[in-house]
Every structure is written in structure tokens, then in C-alpha cells.
Amino acid sequence: MKAEELKKIQAPIKEKYRKNSSAALITLRASGEIGKGISCKVDTGKAMVEAGLHPATGGTGMQACSGDLLLEALVACAGVTLSAVATALEFDMSGGRVKAEGDLDFRGTLGVDKEAKVGFKNIRLNFQLSTSESKDRIDTLLKLTERYCVVYQTLVSSTDLVTEIEIM
């Protein structure tokens, strides 16, 4: 794709967001099923995942956007971690689901509003469990899942990130 093509696609979207800022607020969602053993089946909607622009930034919707992938990674990691913690605690659970939702303001991503945050404004992680365990045991399961989930901890901490470009 040439720069001209991208600008042509994004121009009406940017104008729409300038006129109506609430149109740029979009919630992405991911979900998964806690599986047998220590696993989590994530609903990606695609077998081989190809990333591309979200429709709110000019994408076709035929590719996963990086926000979708981030939420799917959180769901997968949280589901696997919860399963591992439940196993270690001998927690009685016959199944469950994990859901993540995150709100984005695409005005920031598209440079329409310099004050609008680029990235998720907030993310909500939800577990739905089939269990007869006590509230104290459920609270412990959640606390330990949050503590040991790599993606969760990466998102909530100030992780140092270094970028570089290598010429091939």
C-alpha cells in the first residue's frame, strides 16, 4: 500500500473522529475457555493470525489488530495461570471462561487529538468459574493468578521496553 492510499482511507475516518469524538471510542474483546489440564482455548476467529489495521483506522476487518492480539494473549495467559494455580491449590473447578475487554480512543492512534491516549484507556479481565469453593478460596485463586500471570504483570507494571531497527 502506498502512503497516498492509506491517507485516502484514513481521511474520512479522522474527520469523523474530529467531529464526533465518541465515535473513536471502541471496546475490543477476547475470550477463552479454560481447558482440561492446564490450558486455555482462546477464540481468535482465525487459524493463522495475520495482523493489520483495525477497521477504526482504515483496516478491512479481515486481519486481527494488535489490540485484539494483546487481549487474546492476556486471556490465554490468565486462563493458563488460573488453571495452574487451581491445580496447585487443589481448587475444585469443573470449568470456566476468561474474558478481557479494553477501551481504545482511536483519535490518539490516528493523531487526530494529541491529548487522546495512544493505547488502551483501561482493560477489564473477568473469570467465570464453575466451582463450589468458598469466597476466601476464590479470592486466593484470583490473587495468585494476578501475581503469576506474565501478561497481566507486564501490563500492570512499568516494564522497560527498548526498541531498535536492524538493517537487513
Locate the domains of the chain by residue range: 3-156
Confidence of residue 82 (pLDDT cuts 50, 70, 90): very high
Q: According to the model, what pLDDT value does residue 28 have?
A: 78
Looking at the predicted structure, is the pLDDT value of residue 46 above 70?
Answer: no
Q: 89-140 pLDDT, tens per residue?
A: 999 999 999 999 999 999 999 999 999 999 999 999 999 999 999 999 999 9
Q: What is the DSSP string of 106-151?
A: HHHHTTS-TTSPSSEEEEEEEEEEE----HHHHHHHHHHHHHH-HH
What CA–CA distance (Å, rounded) separates 140 from 106?
37
- CA dist 150 and 40 (Å) reads 15
Q: How far apart are CA 107 and CA 15, in angstroms?
A: 10
Q: What is the mean pLDDT of residues 70-89?
A: 93
| 97 C-beta neighbours (distance < 10 Å), count | 18
97 φ/ψ angles, rounded to the nearest 5 degrees: -130, 155
In the block, residue with C-alpha cell 482511536? 106
Average pLDDT over residues 59-67: 83
Q: What is the mean pLDDT of the chain?
A: 88
**CATH code for the part of the protein at 3-156:** 3.30.300.20
| Between 48 and 9, the higher pLDDT residue | 9
Q: Residue 160: is its pLDDT beyond 60?
A: yes
Order across the sheet with 25-34: list the strands.
40-42, 25-34, 95-105, 120-130
| Confidence at residue 96, expressed as pLDDT on a 0 to 100 scale | 94
More confident residue, 32 or 111: 111
Who has greater pLDDT, 30 or 156? 156
pLDDT at residue number 35: 73
User: Strand (E) positions, 23-116?
Assistant: 25-34, 40-42, 95-105
C-alpha cell at 48: 493463522
The residue-averaged pLDDT of 22-26 equals 89
